[in-house]
Structure 1
Amino acid sequence: MRSITAIMFTTLDGVVQGLGRPDEDTRGGFTHGGWRPRYNDDIMGAEMARGMAAPGDMLLGRRTWEDFARVWGRATDGNPFSAHMNAATKYVVSQTLTNVDDWQNSILLRGDAVQTVAELKARPGGDLSINGSASLVRALHAAGLIDHYTLLIHPLTLGSGTKLFDGPAPLREFDLTGCVTTGTGVIIANYSLKRARA
């Protein structure tokens, strides 16, 4: 069975919205877009590159896929992240998209997110990683389908914006399996789901 890792950039107050660019996600009047890039450094780059080195496929919600397809799908900058994103198989969970032809190696998963992802997870294949896609992560977390989290916790609060968990999340316990602090104060914490003891 495949495992699923959610990779989330978050603030201290749990905000995961609009991290890359001012115009990335302004839903709900969000005005703090683009809060993450100033925290990039070589340590973060090395940790993210380490994650990319492991074989696996991507799992994305519609909004994140559409944004990534615009940004990464047309990238010709020689950036290894661009090459990785374009080469990876990308499973897109959506009830509204009719095709995912705009970005190479994308496969549409139509229907209920939990059901389609549970079926995908049960099939043979590479492990899956979710980048962003907070609403998808929340749904899969509630269903017990997230095996690992990589949280990049940034040392700021925004006071508004979509949070990783808006409202209560069901009880799930995780073990800390690794932790790195970057030179800009970002904590990169890796967690794995604690399995019930037999």
Structure 2
Amino acid sequence: MNSYSHSDLNIYGAEDDFEMDAILDAIDEATSSTTPDSAEPSGKDWTRLLAAPRRAASNLTRSDLPNEPGVYLWSRNEVPQYVGTATSLQKRLSTHLGGGVSLAGSSLRRNVCELLFQIPPNVTGNPTRQKVTTGQATAIRGWLLGCDVSWLREHTERDAAALEARLRLVYRPPLNRV
């Protein structure tokens, strides 16, 4: 077992060295084993999305993001992790990059929470239900900041929703739910 400083324990919300080891092991395992359950994404819609410019989430600023409808993709180590739709890419991606302890506004953050800490999304999905610790919120945000984000703008919200539906019909990334 490792010995951690009190600041390390506080950052991740761990009570002791044993819990800190468990948190770091969960993060390592989640980071190294996030591969899709099905075959590689395919089809013309996926080809377009995968060809869109990727930006490191850690370098994104609100002004980098279009305030238009569209579909976005989170990838980690070149592997698609999550596809979503937005009425405003700027607002939606900013919500996903939030660092607060309430996960109610972001299904992506709830799903990363489940991946890292095995807390089901239905537990953290309602604003009046369980919130994560500050350390867990920091770990979730850290995981997301290790991703790349790409997006396709669409003319209307309806076009964006239709594109996402077609994408998910062909391939469902591991952090998307049914």
Higher relative strand content: 1
Higher relative helix content: 2
Scaled by the length of structure 2, what TM-score is found?
0.28
